Amino acid sequence: MLVSIPHTGQDLAGLEPRLVSSWLARKDADWWIETLYDFAAGLGASVIRTAVSRTVIDVNRDPSGRSLYPGQATTELCPTTTFDGEPLYRDGAAPDAEEIATRRRTYFDPYHAALHAEVARLRAVHPRVVVYDCHSIRSIVPRLFDGVLPVFNLGTNGGTSADPSLVARVRDLMAGTGQPFVVDGRFKGGWITRSNGRPAAGVHALQMELACRGYMADPDPIEEAAWPVPYDPVGADRTRTTLVAILSAALAWARA
């Protein structure tokens, strides 16, 4: 198993003078996900993450710049707005095509090279490999989706990135929590899931998008003085227990 953690980074790569605010630039990070999943290595999984903020470049977007969700609001490869539509850059300071290409070479390409190298290493010794991509988002983001997001949002790119039997195991565990869940709802899997999931070649990719309320306080609206809230291990325990079960089941499936 390879666990990918692409959106917890806080490093703004020296962009601060060009940004409206550093808080806005970090507002949409996947807060505390690296802590929530800190058990993964102990299960035997490889873990890859980046320290670079998604505002610098989003390593889970199509590198060509094409939208992964045509017709729906989303953010770009190098985002210029927050999820709520707030501008990230001061007037005239947004990156141009040349700068975006440089950021891709500097940050995006190495992250994916690391993913692909580890998948290849694992696949050379195991008949089946699971790539599990970890994410979270606030429960209410009207610009991106209607209403309140389910706690568990499993993405399989419409059933193409992983074997149905693996997806069924994870679905059963989500259903057993009694909390809201969906498979291939608003979040069907980003570039990491879509580019790595090759079931016919023995590589099965899943994206898990958690609603923040599943493991942390999730106020609406949020304010700079109170976001993010501190990680609460007691409040996160129920969801963390489920995630341990999900990763353990995926590993057992891969080893079967």
Residue 211's pLDDT is: 98
Asked whether the beta carbons of 137 and 149 are under 8 A apart, the reply is yes
CA–CA distance, 182 with 174 (Å, rounded to integer):
9
Residue 188's pLDDT is: 97
The owner of tokens 């390593």 is 59
> Could you tell me which of 203, 199, 193, 130 has the C-alpha nearest to residue 157?
193
Bridge partners, residue 207, by sequence: 133, 155
Residue 199's pLDDT is: 98
Q: Which residues of the chain have pLDDT under 50?
A: none
Distance of CA 183 to CAs 16, 56, 58, 207, Å?
37, 29, 23, 10
> Could you tell me which of 48, 34, 45 has the C-alpha nearest to residue 246?
45
Residue 96's pLDDT is: 98
Question: Which is it for the CA torsion 56, 48, 34, 70, positive or negative?
Answer: positive
Which positions ≥6 away from 61 have C-beta within 8 Å? 68, 75, 76, 77, 190, 191
Which domains, ranges and CATH numbers included, belong to the chain? 2-255 (3.40.630.40)
Residue 209's pLDDT is: 98
Residue 139's pLDDT is: 98
Q: What is the pLDDT of residues 140-196, one digit of tens each?
A: 999 999 999 999 999 999 999 999 999 999 999 999 999 999 999 999 999 999 999
**pTM attached to this predicted model:** 0.97
Q: At what angle are helices 164-176 and 233-255 packed, to 10 degrees? A: 150
The full DSSP string for the chain is -EEEE-S---B-TT-GGGBS-HHHHHTTS-TTHHHHTTTHHHHT-EEEE--B-TTT--TTS-TT---SSTTS----SS-SB-TT--B-B-TT-S--HHHHHHHIIIIIHHHHHHHHHHHHHHHHH-S-EEEEEEEEE-S--TTTSSS---SEEEE-TTTTSS-HHHHHHHHHHHHHTTS-EEESSS----HHHHHH-BGGGTEEEEEEEEEGGGTS---SS--GGG-SPPP-HHHHHHHHHHHHHHHHHHHHHHH-
